[in-house]
Structure 1
Amino acid sequence: MTKENFHESPIEKEEEISINVAEIFQAIKSHFILILAISVTFAALGAVYSLTIPNEYVSTVKLLPEIDSKSAGSNLGGLKSLAGLAGVDLGSGSGVDVVRPEIYPSVLQSTPFLQEALKSNIYVQKRKKWLSVYDYLITSPELPPIQLFGAKSDELKKDENPTILPKEGLSPELIKLNKKELAGIINLKKRISAETDKKNGMVTISVKLTDPVAAATLISFTQNYLTKYVTNYRTEKARKELNFLQDRHEESRKTYDNALSRLSAYKDQHRNTFLQVAKDQEKKMQYEVDLAFNIYSSISTQMADAAVKIQRETPVFKVLEPAQISLEKSEPKRSIITIGFLFFGLFISLVIVFFKTINLKQVLSSK
């Protein structure tokens, strides 16, 4: 490198802009009132904005569901033993509960649940009466201390003409929502949440509403819905089997009663008959009675087994932390919002002072 590279020319020294800390403090001191006014104004705006947000209360419940990890061969019982005697191995493969806790949050975010939740009733402490969740969120929502913007009820009232659907050809499971119902579902979906701890399977359900008692009431409904949903899912097959056996049990009982009545009537009619034909006919009818009784008895046993199976498949939910009525609001943090606006106003004021103090023409001409 040459010697000239280590020395700056006089022109470069003139174009160099030095930062003087004393001048910065002098500029801030001279514009202190402006900085203070802008910062206080933004802080006031932040305070007003925080009052446009209604208070929210969170209620939480923690559940420890039963995770059924069972052997598929254990359900075969005696059939597996008989198959072993015949030289057939049915195996002892393991079966795992298909209703894992990981899907519980999806259940509580599904449209069928949210529709049921909108229809449920909650007690609103501030109004001292029971309201449906739909009315509480859509028809007459809780208003913040200061309302700057109009409610959306006028927009929702425009949906007076429902969509016309054909009466036939559609699936019965098709869900049709109007604007108000859709708005309620979207609102409620943000207020109900669930998390699953993958390590221990614990499920945490949270509900956030603008009334603490209403939040606790809604989380109780959510807990009951989830436990019933999982129970019905786990026991659905066993219940269908029990219903089938009950129908067959009634049919087999009638068959047995009819066969026994025919046998009794035949014996009464042929009491003094010694013909071999009559005896053979009586044996045949007795065989029908025995067969009908065996079927009736077998179905009765299977019914008892099915009832036990339903009880065995019913899951257990242990409540680790029951729902509580929140005494303190969870949001908004009005002090944090006000302080945030204050610092933002301070930053804006410093930028204004900077551009008021610096000589932009000199900077631009130096370039």
Structure 2
Amino acid sequence: MENNKNNNEVIDLRVVFKKIMDNKMLYFKVMPIVFVLSCAYILCIPRTYTSSLSLAPEMNNNSSLGGTIGSLASSFGFDIGSMETSDAINPMLYPDLMEDNGFIVGLFNIKVASADGEIKCNYYDYLTKHQDAPFWSKGINSIKKLFAEKETQIKGVSKSSPYMLSKRQDGIAEDIRKDITISIDKKTAVITITAQAQDPLICKTLADSVKQRLQVFITNYRTSKSRVDEEYYKNLAAEAKDEYEKARQLYGSYADANTDVQLASLRSKQEDLENDMQLKYNAYTAMTTQYQAAKAKVQERTPAFTLVKGAAVPVKASGPKRMIFVIGMCILAFIGCTIYILKNNIKRFFIQENI
């Protein structure tokens, strides 16, 4: 009993190595086949390019103390600035815009051009007509079209309602969500836009276009209430001006018609008209002042954007990583062959070692 307890099983590497060498022809057969098939597969996958940019929007600080606390909290990964803002949409929600069909459909009409100049169209047509795909993918799509049901779609529905897309348009929208991403750094609030395409110039164009549309969205949202106030005071000022013009013309006409009249009742009416004209002029002046203040408020609420890193035309493709893929498949094939050789001879590789 004691002798059995003192014996430990250990793997004899010499036996393992000998077994592998005895079956080395399996490696010589499998490895070249895997290498050739891996190269054939990965060469059929179209290359893609990636371009990104970083954008820093203007942030409102309520107080210097709040800014100090926010800076301290950001070092620990907390965004106090987004909690202090009075906006319903804080910067942390900007990446969620890619989930909105309205924002995605707005990207359909982006004008794109390939680096070689052969492709010049909008983004929607580029995704539907100018995409390279593996031969098996084209075959599968052709088969799907044979069995696909006809779509019922209202003409121009994507323009009138981005939330009533056809099946094809919805598929293109999903492809755009995969190719374009918006992310934000919680510590610095820097927005990063990344675009992917099969052409290096097109992916840069996409990143710049998304940046412009994001800036327009942020600006429109931040200034929406101020623009409503501006339009409101503009209408009030216009109405006050009309009322003042009518009162001024009525007073002038009455004063011209009763220049030499000495009756007290007529002079009293003239004074009433003059007072009414003055009141309406004061109202017009006040509304004009409010209108000018509202216009200034729109400019004040308009955020400034700092381009931290501009989008560049990529020189090298971002994917697929062909060499890594082939090496990885060869390693998996080697491991698979080794497991196949050793799986039925595991007990032979252990020896009893006395302690």
- Pairwise same-fold verdict (TM > 0.5): yes
Q: Which amino acid aligns with 2:209?
A: F
Cα 1:344–1:325 shift into 2, 3 Å:
same
Cα 1:291–1:196 shift into 2, 3 Å:
same
Given candidates 240, 262, 286, the residue that maps to 1:274 is 262
Matches within 5 A, 1:1-367: 5-8=1-4, 19-70=11-62, 96-126=86-116, 128-143=118-133, 147-150=135-138, 152=141, 155=144, 158=148, 160-162=150-152, 175-355=163-343
Quote how far apart the aligned CAs of 1:355 are: 4.8
TM-score for both structures, normalised by structure 1: 0.80
Quote how far apart the aligned CAs of 1:308 are: 0.7
CA distance in 1, matches of 2:144, 2:122: 21
Q: Max radius of gyration: which structure?
A: 1
Root-mean-square deviation (CA, aligned residues, Å) is 2.8
Q: Give SS of 2:151's match.
A: coil
Question: Which stretch has the larger CA shift, 147-156 or 321-330?
Answer: 147-156
CA distance in 2, matches of 1:289, 1:237: 33
CA distance in 1, matches of 2:207, 2:278: 56
Q: Give SS of 1:217's match.
A: helix
Q: Which amino acid aligns with 2:278?
A: D
CA contact (8 A) 1:62 1:203 kept: yes
Q: Which amino acid aligns with 2:60?
A: D
Cα 1:349–1:154 shift into 2, 3 Å:
closer
CA distance in 2, matches of 1:228, 1:69: 22
Count of residues paired in the alignment: 322
What does the per-residue CA deviation read over 1:105-154, in whole Å, with 9 as the maximum and x for residues that have no partner? 1123322111111221211224523222111112332235xx23326366
CA distance in 2, matches of 1:222, 1:174: 17
CA distance in 2, matches of 1:268, 1:209: 76
Q: Which amino acid aligns with 2:33?
A: T
Cα 1:270–1:176 shift into 2, 3 Å:
same
TM-score for both structures, normalised by structure 2: 0.82
Identity of aligned residues (%): 23
Quote how far apart the aligned CAs of 1:44 are: 2.1
CA distance in 2, matches of 1:339, 1:177: 43
Structure 2 runs not aligned, ≥5 long: 64-83, 155-159, 349-355
CA distance in 2, matches of 1:8, 1:355: 26
